[in-house]
Amino acid sequence: MIRKKKVNRFYESDGPSISDIHYKNVDLLSRFVTEQGKILPRRTSGNDAKCQRLVKRAIKRARHLALMPYVTENLR
Amino acid sequence: MNLYETTIVLDSQQKAEDIQGIAAKTETFIKNNGGTIVKSEDWGKKRLAYEINRKQYGNYYHIQFEGPATLPDLLEREFRLEETVVRYLTVRTEAHTIVKEEKKESSLPAEETPDASPESEPAKEAAVTEPPASVDEAVVTAESDSEVEKEAEASPKE
């Protein structure tokens, strides 16, 4: 996967809204992790501080419930 | 009274009726301790993103409820005693997600009649007064026992 600076799409009308950021929404959250399962930094994800904070928290919760991996399995 | 949501991961190797039993038991426990169930969802059997106690699959159950601030602590104690519960997470329903549900609700009457707007306003106020406290940190009961954390640390080395 090529890491490229992305734009924060949470404020665009056609993108996902901030209220979609939830640990249940694994499809959305998986866009903000690397192939290894690491959380992307803001400089790469393009999130502003608020969105990044919400995303971070949601990912960590999803990991706790085994909805998302801490480390991707095939890389072990 | 606060809005909470709990997700529990149940051992899928147990009998189906045991799994259903825990879900039902949790709901009655909430009701018996001064809470009201807002919504409950059964997500069914899912593959775990990583192995927990050599288990590959878990049954997920999600409950939204309203209750006194003491309830999450009581719930946690119940979950700890129950071996079928592999993981649990109770969080205060966050402010930014409440906005979404409000919008969904208020958009429906707005389409039909303009009279509906004054009705929906008190509901909005009620919902808005609670969340600000939760903005800083809504985690009430998140981290479980140290065993679980050790396991998570150990897994990358494998």
Distance from CA of A7 to the nearest CA of B (A): 21
Contacts of residue B123, defined as CB under 8 A and 6 or more positions apart, other chains included, come to B102, B105
Taking alpha carbons only, the member of B24, B88, B34, B42 closest to residue B65 is B34
Would you call B9 and A76 a contact, using CB atoms and an 8 Å cutoff? Answer: no
A/B interface, count of CB pairs below 8 Å: 58
Q: For residues A29 and A39, what is the distance between their CA atoms, to the nearest angstrom? A: 9
Would you call A17 and B156 a contact, using CB atoms and an 8 Å cutoff? Answer: no
Q: Is B74 on the interface with A (CB under 8 A)?
A: no
**Range A34-53 burial, b when 16+ CB lie within 10 A, else e:** eeebebbebeebbbeeebbe
Q: What is the pLDDT of residues B123-138, one digit of tens each?
A: 444 444 444 444 444 4
- Are the CB atoms for B94 and B3 separated by under 8 Å? no
Confidence of residue A28 (pLDDT cuts 50, 70, 90): very high
β-pair partners for A38: none
Confidence of residue B65 (pLDDT cuts 50, 70, 90): very high
Distance from CA of B64 to the nearest CA of A (A): 13
The alpha carbons of chain B give a radius of gyration, in whole angstroms, of: 18
Distance from CA of B54 to the nearest CA of A (A): 13
Q: Where are the domains of chain B?
A: 2-144
Residues from chain B contacting residue A21 (CB–CB below 8 Å)? 96-97
DSSP, collapsed to helix, strand or coil, labels residue B6 as strand
**No. of H helices and E strands in chain A?**
3, 0
Would you call B155 and A70 a contact, using CB atoms and an 8 Å cutoff? Answer: yes
The share of chain B scoring above pLDDT 70, in percent, equals 62
DSSP assignments along B37-81, one per residue:
EEEEEEEEEEEEEEEETTEEEEEEEEEEEEE-TTHHHHHHHHHHH
Q: Is B124 on the interface with A (CB under 8 A)?
A: no
Smallest CA–CA distance from A36 into chain B, residue = B156
More confident residue, B19 or B102: B19
Confidence of residue A12 (pLDDT cuts 50, 70, 90): confident
Interface test with B, best of A27, A30, A65 (most B CBs within 10 A): A65
Confidence at residue B127, expressed as pLDDT on a 0 to 100 scale: 47
Domains of chain A are: 18-75 (4.10.640.10)
Q: For residues A33 and A54, what is the distance between their CA atoms, to the nearest angstrom? A: 14
Q: Of the candidates A19, A24, A63, which has its C-beta nearest B99's C-beta? A: A19
pLDDT (mean) for A8-25: 85
Q: Which two three-digit tokens encode residue A33?
A: 């992790």
DSSP assignments along A26-43, one per residue:
HHHHGGGB-TTSPBPPHH
Half-sphere exposure of B157 (CA within 13 A, CB side): 5
Q: pTM here?
A: 0.70
Would you call A73 and B152 a contact, using CB atoms and an 8 Å cutoff? Answer: no
Tell which CATH classification among 3.30.160.110, 1.10.3470.10, 3.40.190.10, 3.30.70.60 matches the domain B2-144. Answer: 3.30.70.60
Q: Is B50 on the interface with A (CB under 8 A)?
A: yes
Is the pLDDT confidence value at B91 over 70?
yes
The alpha carbons of chain A give a radius of gyration, in whole angstroms, of: 12
